[in-house]
Amino acid sequence: MMRTSYDPEADAMFVWFAPEGTASATTKEVAPGILLDFDTAGNVVGIEILDVRERVMEQRDKAA
């Protein structure tokens, strides 16, 4: 089950793909402000997106 959350103070969005309570063993920044969390088997268990408001505004401006 996928879960999401947004932290307005940090302006960060989190998306989890693993069951609740699954720990992240490592994190890798794959693009500026885009981080992937991996479990001990190397599976992606989550994504963290930083500067969400800025990214949304950029995409909105591109679509206009």
Domain spans, the chain: 3-63
Task: Please give the pLDDT value at position 26.
Answer: 97
- DSSP per-residue codes, the chain: --EEEEETTTTEEEEE-SPTTPPP-EEEEEETTEEEEE-TTS-EEEEEEESHHHHHHHHHHHH-
Q: pLDDT per residue over 8-48, tens digit each? A: 999 999 999 998 888 899 999 999 999 999 999 999 999 99
**Whether the model pTM is above 0.85:** no
Task: Please give the pLDDT value at position 22.
Answer: 87
